[in-house]
Amino acid sequence: LARTTLSDITGRYAQREPLTMCTAYDYITARWAQASGANLLLVGDSMATTALGYDAPTDLPFDEFKQHLRSVCRAAGPAAIVADMPFGSLEQSIEHGVSSAVALMKISSKVTSVKVELGTPGVDTHTYALVQELTSRGIPVMGHLGLTPQRAHSLGGLRVQANGTVEQAVRLLESAQQAQASGCWAVVLECVPQRLATYITEQLQIPTIGIGAGPGTSGQVLVIADMLELLGEGAFRPKFAKRYAQLGKAAEKSLAQFTAEVQRGQFPVKGTHTFMMKDDLWQEFL
């Protein structure tokens, strides 16, 4: 299958086809995501908490993220790969952000775009300046607005955004417009009221990919660990994350069965899970 290009994606957007993006963190999840038919595969820094056991995405080291991106790229398939820019890879300076993005693009020609969490125009100006610098160097950028988890402290926690005051709603719209003006080819809207996300989508000429933003965006993304309940039944799952499977529970149950069968002497079964040796060979050996 031919690899998906960004013009394939924007072509689908122009045809008003809903875009699908699936997160992946390693070779296994990337194989699943590639087989799913999703247009885009996001190697998100959500891997920090949902796959690597860190407390927050800000704990994720850049080198570790790159290892995971590398393993995702080893999975064959047509989806275009988007690499998140983790916390610490762009905050120091524009130059540092550019070199981090170059390092991500260098991992594989399959990396089609980076994703950058954006702040407020006129306040967090470096984020928009970085988008301009990257796009001028031929590195496509997907913006990320609304709930931007790397900025959880300054946003007052992981919560719905732009639903408190008119100013907040206006600021989100202006941020999305600024993302477009700075050169983003698409923008993720996370955890924002559905009617605002729909309105912003209508105002933009670039696609919006929603997560917890309702059905009015140009596409949807969910975190794979939430959708498949990889961390088991007890793990936190946000309201907007529909559960499509309970793989964590199924895995725990299967492994417990293996353990019990070994302990009871029920596995392996002679002749079924074992190799045989011819009698004459065995006699000669003895």
- Name which of residues 39 to 68 contact Na ion (CB under 5 A): 44-45
Does 190 help bind Na ion (rule: CB under 5 A)? no
Q: Which is nearer to ligand KIV, 51 or 169 (CB)?
A: 51
Does 24 help bind ligand KIV (rule: CB under 6 A)? no
* Rounded Cα gap, residues 166 and 271, in angstroms: 71
Report which residue's Cβ sits closest to ligand KIV. 44
Which of Na ion, ligand KIV, none binds 221 (CB below 5-8 Å, type-dependent)? ligand KIV
Catalytic (active-site) positions:
190
Which of ligand KIV, Na ion, none binds 148 (CB below 5-8 Å, type-dependent)? none
Q: Which is nearer to ligand KIV, 204 or 223 (CB)?
A: 223
Which of ligand KIV, Na ion, none binds 223 (CB below 5-8 Å, type-dependent)? ligand KIV
Q: How far is CA 212 from the centre of its chain?
A: 14
Print the binding letters for residues 77-106 with Na ion: x by CB under 5 A, - otherwise: -------x----------------------
For the range 248-255, what are the long-range contacts, defined as Cβ-Cβ under 8 Å and sequence gap of 24 or more? Answer: none
- Name which of residues 168 to 207 contact ligand KIV (CB under 6 A): 188, 190
**113 close to 87: Cβ distance less than 8 angstroms:** no
Q: What is the largest CA-CA distance in the chain?
A: 88
Stretch that binds ligand KIV, among 3-11, 42-50, 62-70, 241-249 (CB under 6 A): 42-50
- Name which of residues 133 to 172 contact ligand KIV (CB under 6 A): 144
Of 87, 97, 42, the C-alpha closest to 61 is 87
Which of ligand KIV, Na ion, none binds 188 (CB below 5-8 Å, type-dependent)? ligand KIV
- What residue type is assigned to position 150 of the chain? Q
Candidates 20, 23, 29, 182; binder of ligand KIV (CB under 6 A) is: 23
For the range 14-20, what are the long-range contacts, defined as Cβ-Cβ under 8 Å and sequence gap of 24 or more? Answer: 18/218, 18/219, 18/220, 19/207, 19/209, 19/218, 19/219, 19/220, 20/219, 20/220, 20/221
Three-state DSSP at 115 gives strand
Q: Which residue has the tokens 């809903």?
A: 18
Of 176, 204, 202, 170, the C-alpha closest to 190 is 176
Binding site for Na ion (CB under 5 A): 44-45, 84
Binding site for ligand KIV (CB under 6 A): 23, 42, 44-46, 84, 144, 188, 190, 211, 221, 223
